[in-house]
Structure 1
Amino acid sequence: VTPLIVAAGSGVRATLGILAVVPLLTIAMLTGSVSPDARTAAPARRDVRGLRVLLPFAVALPLYVGVETVLSGWSAVIPERILEVDPALAALGTSAFWALMAVGRFGAAALRRLSVSPIAILITATSAAAILMAVAGLLVASAPAGALVALAAVVVLLAPSYGLILGLALDRLDPARSAAVTGALVACGAVGGTFVPTLILLIGRDPASSTTFFVSAGLCALVPVLMLVASRTPSQTPAAS
């Protein structure tokens, strides 16, 4: 709903100022409420050695979020630059991005109902996404339409990654400790959403350049490697499923 409010109130600065308060209110609400599980789990947060199993996930989350932010944040800029279309028409790329995300997430949910393991879905999908991202980098100059098709497939493949990475991480801990570290893992992901696009802009200078896609492909390729490492790390709870 927020983009619609921005569009409706773009000429009224007071409306946009009110919107800026929304994330601050959200943070205040989240920090002001502490669940009983989180209070019970406070001592567990001091057990740094016991949280080593989360290290691969804490690195994979910002990498994934960063690559997703490149695709979502520039979902209108990329088609506008690649196809040289009118910016107003290119803005439909953002709607296409979220539609493709929905397809990917529902597809992953269907695979889970067929008892396909989360780690198999995650490793296969992120590996394929890294390859297709590199393909987009190769095609962006010679076959721009093909590059966009490859990027569309990347979005579908990456869509379920955040939930799978976070779920696999928490599944390796007991319930009390899971409640305590969820915020830390989410914060790790948020760091990637800022750091990775900034890094890519510094290197590639253009959101739709082949360098942007090659760097994104390299970062994306690290995610399945980290998940393979994580899958070989013993869980902290024998009841993990």
Structure 2
Amino acid sequence: MHIVLVGGTAEALLLSYHLVSEHTVSIVELEAELGLPVQYPGRVIDRDFLSDYFTDDQISFLMLHPNPDGWGCRWDWIVKHLAANVARRGVQCYTRTRILSCTSTEAGTVINLSGGERDLPSHLYADRVIAMRPLESAGPGKRHHQWTPNLPEQFPETKLRTWFGGSVLPTDAQTAPFPDLRLKRADDITELWWSTPPSWTPSHGYFEQCHVRLPSTVDLLSFDGVISRVREFLNTFV
């Protein structure tokens, strides 16, 4: 089968990692670079899971920092290493690419594409098209995919809620009002995540911040949670 995953999320990369040994897999992403902007906590609970997907050198590069709720790291490096590894396994990633139409036929689904990459094909033929983000998600300049005339399959998610995340200096983090998740990283930055946006503002400002729809339970906000969701979804390919 040719499987097209729309959205270069960690879930998409892990799913492609498992599928590419038996299927042709393509990933379509609106952003110019996988892993940016960061919209997920840099958190690993059981670091033993990492050896299933990363080399020892890559794990060392993550510089995992111990926290009461797991290990803290930069999430963009988890995604970047995953992207490099799936590309080596044969997954094709189309960045800066927008879907113009999605048409189901008896032979499969035809996806028309538009983008800035030199070698971008004008269309893809797929047996399964799976949206890895909510269909209304937008990219740079509020660009979004055109799901006409046929909607894709949607990657299943648990109950979602809007989270506010920001990265700050450790001195500012000490005065932060009760974040739902606090992650110290080895680069001397602390991530703070709230299920309700705080009125508090750090003295030195945020290095990065985002409002994003993620699983509503803080226990699922981790690399381990991503693995669990992907492995459960893999059963639909049996």
Q: TM-score range by the shorter chain?
A: under 0.3
Higher relative contact order (CA 8 A, sep 6+): 1
TM norm structure 2: 0.25
Is the helix fraction higher in 1 or 2? 1
- TM-score w.r.t. structure 1 length? 0.24
